[in-house]
Amino acid sequence: MKKLIYFIILYLLTTTLFAQGNGNPTINCVVFDTNTSKIPENIIKTVSVDHLDHVWFATGDCFFGGKLVEYFDNEFRVYDSTNCSMDDRFVTTIFIDINNTKWIGTRFHGIYKFDGSKWVNYVPQNSPLPGVHVVSINQDRDGTLWFVTEKELTSFDGVNWKVYKSSDIHLAFDELYEVAVDNQNNKWIASNKGFAKFDGATWSIFQKENSKLPSNQVNSVYCDKSGILWVVYWSGLIKIEKENWTIYTSENSGLPEFNDYKIFIDANGTKWIGTSLGIVRHENDKWASFTPQNSCVRSFFINKIVSDSKNNKWVASNDGLLMIK
Full residue range of the structural domain in which residue 212 is found: 2-36+131-324
Cα-flanking dihedrals φ and ψ of residue 19, to 5°? -80, -15
Task: Please tell me the distance from the alpha carbon of residue 135 to that of residue 311, in angstroms, as a whole number.
Answer: 26
Decide if 192 is inside a domain: yes
Decide if 227 is inside a domain: yes
Contacts of 155 (CB under 8 A, 6+ apart): 144, 145, 146, 147, 161, 162, 164
pLDDT tens, position by position, for the chain (325 residues)?
Answer: 444 444 444 444 444 344 344 445 789 999 999 999 999 999 999 999 999 999 999 999 888 889 999 999 999 999 998 899 888 999 999 999 999 999 999 999 999 999 999 999 999 999 999 999 999 999 999 999 999 998 999 999 999 999 999 889 988 888 999 999 999 999 999 999 999 999 999 999 999 999 999 999 999 999 999 999 999 998 899 999 999 999 999 999 999 998 999 999 999 999 999 999 999 999 999 999 999 999 999 999 999 999 999 999 999 999 999 999 9
Decide if 19 is inside a domain: yes
Q: What is the 3-state secondary structure (H, E, C) of 78-89?
A: EECCCCCCCCCC
For residue 213, give the CATH number of its domain: 2.130.10.10
Decide if 41 is inside a domain: no
Decide if 63 is inside a domain: no
Decide if 99 is inside a domain: no
Structural domain count of the chain: 1
Task: Please tell me the distance from the alpha carbon of residue 263 to that of residue 222, in angstroms, as a whole number.
Answer: 7
Phi-psi region of 140 (alpha: psi -120 to 50; beta: other; left: phi over 0): beta
Decide if 73 is inside a domain: no
Query: How many Cβ atoms are within 10 Å of 113's Cβ, its own excluded?
Result: 15
Does residue 19 sit in helix, strand or coil? helix
Decide if 169 is inside a domain: yes
Amino acid letter for position 170: H
Question: Which CA distances in Å does 307 have to 2, 49, 55, 250, 297?
Answer: 35, 7, 9, 26, 16
Does residue 9 sit in helix, strand or coil? helix
